[in-house]
Amino acid sequence: MLNHITLRVNDLEKSKKFFLAALGPLGYKLFVEKEKSAGFGQADIEGNRDFWIKEGEVGETKSFYCLAFTAPNKEGVENFYRAALEAGGVDNGAPGYRPQYHAGYYAAFVLGPDGYNIEAVFDDWEKLRTVAK
CA atoms within 13 A on the CB side of 65: 0
Say what the pLDDT of residue 4 is. 83
CB neighbours of 28 closer than 8 A, spacing ≥ 6? 19, 40, 41, 42, 51, 69
Asked if 83 and 32 count as a contact pair (C-beta separation under 8 A), the reply is no
Q: Residues 10-62: pLDDT tens digits?
A: 999 999 999 999 999 999 999 999 989 999 998 877 667 889 999 988 777 66
What pTM was estimated for this model as a whole?
0.87
SS3 content of the chain, % helix, strand, coil (to 5): 25, 30, 40
Task: Specify the CATH class of 5-57+64-132 in words.
Answer: alpha beta
CA atoms of 66 and 83, how far apart (whole Å): 18
E-assigned strand segments in the chain:
5-9, 29-33, 37-41, 51-55, 67-70, 90-91, 96-97, 105-111, 117-123
CA atoms of 8 and 37, how far apart (whole Å): 9
Q: How confident is the model at residue 131 (pLDDT cuts 50, 70, 90)?
A: low
Q: Residues 58-112: pLDDT tens digits?
A: 777 666 778 999 999 999 999 999 999 999 999 999 999 999 998 899 999 999 9
What is the pairing mode between strands 51-55 and 67-70? unpaired
